Structure 1
């Protein structure tokens, strides 16, 4: 039997202000642990999302799954190269597979994109020097 959906995890601990989604919620990922001979091998999928390139776009994005982990699907299916089916994915079915969700508006730069500040309450690090990003 193969899992059809992989549950979301939100990273609440060990994060600094600069490692947040645009709305200040913690970053998130979906993880399907590996097994057997694949338990030490990894497939990491960085979700695409592009840039939030102006205040209006940032404001819109922060109220979507691309800017808030609160609004992301709590479970997602893993298919293709992320599938746990040895028939559908004979090479990697038993590897650790993780999808890192996109929510910072700056292609995983993790600092909330400077233009986001102009979008009202959109999360952005106030002092880059205070973060060890």
Structure 2
């Protein structure tokens, strides 16, 4: 029974080549988009979940207004982490990260290179 269905489908594909090509291409694109969306959702739900106490981790963000234009950024003032740790007993530890604006020139033996995406950390 399945063999006859496959034969009929194959004959239909050969008979209507353009329609079949458009349909198969649309199906392939739809499947690829669904897989990418599922992967994105999976990554968003699993972000930082490899830490043992992932539910206790927080990130400070800043929302404000500059010249009448609202903005949101994932940065805050330097002393914010230490102030939270001192003022709130629930905060066990705090860490500050700062991205280096210019890639530093590093040396390993006689080889010199610029390192991209360097951060300073204080914990």
TM-score, normalized by the shorter chain, greater than 0.5: no
- Between Structure 1 and Structure 2, the one with more helix by share is 2
| Structure with larger RCO (C-alpha < 8 A, sep 6+) | 1
Task: Tell which structure's C-alpha radius of gyration is larger.
Answer: 2
TM-score (norm 1): 0.21
TM-score (norm 2): 0.23
